[in-house]
Structure 1
Amino acid sequence: MLTDRTTPLLVRPEPEDPLADPDWREPDVPVQRLSWLRLGFLILVVAGLGAGGAAAVVHYRETAGPTAKSWAVPYVDVTLTPTFEFQDPAVNPANDVALAFVVADPSDGCAPSWGGAYTPDEAAASLELDRRIEQLRAAGGDVMLSVGGLINTELAVACTDEVRLTDAYRQLVRRYQLDTLDLDIEGTAVADKASLQRRAAALKTLQAERKAAGGTLDVWLTLPVAPNGLTADGVNAVRTTLEGGVSLRGVNVMTMDYGNAGTEPDMLELAESALEATHKQLSDLYLQLGVQLTSPEVWARIGATPMIGQNDIDAERFTVDDARGLATFAVDKGLGRVSMWSLNRDAPCTGTFTNVVVHSNTCSGVSQEKLAFSKMFIDLPGGTVGDSGREAVTIPAQSGVTDDPAKSPYPVWRLSAQYVRGYKVVWHGVVYESKWANQGMDPSAASDSATPSPWSVIGPVTATDVAPSPSPTVTGVTAEWSPETVYARGQKVLFNGLPYEARWSSTGDAPSTEYPISPDDPWKPLFVVPGEPVTG
């Protein structure tokens, strides 16, 4: 996971683990903003890479389809010593960078600081941060700011005053003239519902202010991920942000530190698995919230951030070949963003640290040439920070969504109903199918590997759908049910035009019309309802 490295190196323990804007369109490939000086340098860099470097990515650009818009924006650990000169093209070949991390000031939880060590003014004076950002922009590059990280406390967690929290974020946006904010939510913060709601409210306000001023503010969420996707808390963090009114540009997953990947894990395979699973989760989530996106549209809202080289887990090493594979995957899928942790580490370890497991802030711990990882991603053909063509889908409020049984193709989900495998239901405008027998499990609830959902998403309810029409499985039943009659087991009756059979003796108990009909109901249905699996 990403960390703020303001303290001496610490080896971290294994982690525990409605409707779309009608004017939205898939973003076009924007033009990179490069000065002639910076462009000239990059041409020299590319020329020296050889067949195994960025030239391979250039080939991807020529052969990839229309979704190939992946944007390379590596992280820089701002407060780490020695200072990484991200503004210098000789040190940093990347056009854009994500500066990490802004956290809560230890003395005032509602005040932003760099790594808990520098106020913005102190960072300007001691680190020349403002000047270096200005220099990068003058050379055609740009920055996004990353707020959070695993170490220290994120502003929304520390600051419980929503007005002051909003002002803290506003200070950052204005001081650094930001078009993009990256919210890195890790550790216990992922499950902190109150802070998630505060953060969403603050970001919504800032986006509204920027829109009123004629601009945009893109927001990314950076979250931990496992090979089987986001955790339930991670999915809920995305849901809370969207339902809070934030126009979310995308979700960046940290493809690193899996913890239980085996003795010799294939880090590229695990990263691709995590990204595919995240794609499914976000597709389902947007659908549950009333937005049906195409597969490429979802991919454009996903980012990947590996920890280059030696990960915090000894067995996990992300190599230069893995980076080449991820670049290929990114272009093939149209991944919205590729980052890495971090530019500070994009160098071989030397001296006594060579060829051993090294957990270092300033070298990768694997065999590589200096800047080999950066050069592998540099020619990804995506846009730049804050590109206005990369519009995000705005999720409308969901509080008033109610399923109309007359317009639902399958029974509406009920908390008390007992569902068998294969049963289809409608819930909040989405059709789900039961993967196994269950009761009381909300189809729209988040899930993870520890508590998997018994429901799979099938698709949205359409405007032409109507109520399900049951089909009788017997004929010849003519007696209407009467509340005064004493019925014996096996007797058949009609109720609301449908046949039923008595399971046991009863009187006054009307046959149920709530589907599926419980096995504890005295009347067994002699008909099938659309969505009910055929048995026997």
Structure 2
Amino acid sequence: MRRILVAAAAVSMAVGLAPVANAAVNPILAAPYLYQWSSPPNPVTVMQQTGIKAFTLAFILSDRSCNPLWDGTRSLTGADITRVNQIRAAGGDALPSIGGWSGNKLGTYCSTAQALAGAYVKVIDAGKFTAIDLDVENTDEFQNAAVQDKILNALKIVRQQRPSVKIVITIPALTSGLDTWGNRLVQRAKDLSAPVDVWTVMPFNFSSGGDMVAMTKSSVTGLKNKVQSVYGLTDDAAWRRSGLSSMNGRTDTGEIVTAANFRSIVSWANSVHLARVSFWAVNRDCNNCGGIAQGQWEFTKANATVTG
């Protein structure tokens, strides 16, 4: 099976076709972020040295219209899809992250849910992606009720048009769980019957320090409790709809997530069967690259041990 997938991906790369997704890999479960600027590491090398099988590729943005491009500037079918081909040829897979902290967002520039859904589908089809991550934070994609609803209604259309594609929404959080806007987004997703398969929080940038393992557990548990309450799930089912995306090393506010911390977080995530564990970012996973002393790829190696 692997040889068939490798051969198919190689043919796609040779003739310029869209890559073939690797059905053997769950691209959501254990997929650290890999950003595409500043000489990113070779993902195949990372796979070989860590055992990781999937990556979350950042970011899809708007070009100040309802047109999706990698980082708002690069073609959907250029070098970034070549990287996806390489990952798949090595037996892995990838999903695109749409949004992020900065840049121009499709939720802002697409005027209707229909247009926004069309932009999402364009991304999906360009890479034959089987899952997408919507990184909804910071701008009016997150802190605007009308734009939140536009995103959720767009996802309903995506599910109708590409029913097999899984959808992840990644949002900021507090140590106690979701903030007001996060709580609204989860509730409105239920109200509007928007198809969100996994809810993920970013449990960092809480303060200038503290026990990041304990604060991560508290934050993700708060998310799980909200998902459980809104959707009427069992405890186990709610964990399996929840996830986390940490930040390796020094966070934006000066917190420190050590490799040992992250290994503890992964062990806990496995014990409760989280649906997704990720971190920002593989590019920072080397000695002092994330502001701390560490071994090469320590966080990625830990991420590869996620079992769900």
TM-score for the superposition, normalised by structure 2: 0.87
The separation in 1 between residues aligned to 2:166 and 2:76, in whole angstroms, is 21
Match of 2:93 in 1: 142
Which residue of 2 is the match for residue 458 of structure 1?
Answer: none
Partners of 1:228 and 1:160 in 2: CA distance:
34
Structural mapping, 1:72-471, within 5 Å: 72-78=30-36, 80-88=37-45, 89-90=47-48, 93-106=51-64, 108=65, 110-121=66-77, 124=78, 128-188=79-139, 189-211=141-163, 216-259=164-207, 264-286=209-231, 292-314=232-254, 316-349=255-288, 363-382=289-308
Do 2:54 and 2:92's aligned partners in 1 also have CA atoms closer than 8 Å?
yes
SS in 1 for 2:183: helix
Q: Is the 8 A contact 1:85 1:92 kept in 2?
A: no
How far apart, in 1, do the equivalents of 2:112 and 2:198 lie? 26
Residue 250 of structure 1 deviates from its aligned partner by: 1.1
Q: What is residue 4 of structure 1 aligned with on the other side?
A: none
Structure 1 residues 136 and 302 mapped into 2: Cα distance closer, same or farther (>3 Å)? same
| Alpha-carbon contact 2:168-2:198 (below 8 Å) kept | yes
Distance 2:72 2:239 in 1: 34
Deviations 1:227-278 (A, max 9, x none): 011001101112222322322111110011113xx5x411111101111111
Using the TM superposition, give the Cα deviation of residue 180 of structure 1 relative to its aligned residue in structure 2, in angstroms: 0.7
Counterpart CA distance in 2 for 1:84 and 1:166 is 31
Judged with a 3 Å threshold, the aligned counterparts in structure 2 of structure 1 residues 35 and 364 are, in CA distance, closer, same or farther, namely: farther
- Bigger radius of gyration, 1 or 2? 1
CA contact (8 A) 1:87 1:133 kept: no
What letter is aligned with 1:203?
L
Cα deviation, residue 83, structure 1: 2.8
SS in structure 2 opposite 1:303? strand
User: For the residues of structure 2 that align with 1:230 and 1:334, how far apart are their CA atoms?
Assistant: 20
Unaligned runs of 5+ in 1: 1-32, 39-69, 287-291, 350-362, 383-536
Amino acid at match of 1:113: L
User: Structure 2: how far apart are the matches of 1:242 and 1:134?
Assistant: 35
Question: 1:285: how far off?
Answer: 1.6
* Amino acid paired to 2:76: P
> 2:187 is paired with a residue of what secondary structure?
helix
Question: 1:10-33 CA distances to partner (integer Å, 9 max, x unpaired)?
Answer: xxxxxxxxxxxxxxxxxxxxxxx9
Structure number with higher helix proportion: 2
Asked whether the 8 Å contact 2:190–2:230 carries over to 1, the reply is no
* Shift, 1:34, TM fit: 6.4
Cα distance in 1 between the residues matched to 2:233 and 2:134: 23
Q: Secondary structure at the match of 1:322?
A: helix
Change (3 A) 1:275 1:34: farther
- TM-score when normalising by structure 1: 0.51
Q: Distance in 2 between matches of 1:175 and 1:92?
A: 28
For 1:206 and 1:246, locate their aligned partners in 2 and report how far apart those are by CA, in whole Å: 10
1:334: how far off? 0.7
Aligned residue identity for 1:230: L
Matches of 2:165 and 2:100, distance apart in 1 = 21
Deviation at residue 210 of structure 1 after TM alignment = 2.2
CA distance in 2, matches of 1:81, 1:303: 28
Give 1:85's aligned amino acid. Answer: N
In structure 1, C-alpha distance between the alignment counterparts of 2:107 and 2:242, rounded to whole Å: 23
The code of the aligned residue for 1:210 comes to R
Select between 201-210 and 176-185 the one with higher mean Cα deviation: 201-210
Partner of 2:168, secondary structure, is strand
Equivalent residue pairs, number = 285
Judged with a 3 Å threshold, the aligned counterparts in structure 2 of structure 1 residues 248 and 296 are, in CA distance, closer, same or farther, namely same
Tell me the CA shift for residue 91 of structure 1. Answer: 6.1
Letter in 2 for 1:253: V
**1:404-438: CA deviations, max 9, x gaps?**
xxxxxxxxxxxxxxxxxxxxxxxxxxxxxxxxxxx
The CA distance in 1 between the partners of 2:211 and 2:275, in whole Å, is 23
Cα distance between partner residues in 1 of 2:241 and 2:3: 28
Q: Is the Cα contact below 8 Å between 2:50 and 2:304 reproduced in 1?
A: no
CA distance, structure 1, for counterparts of residue 62 and residue 233 of structure 2: 36
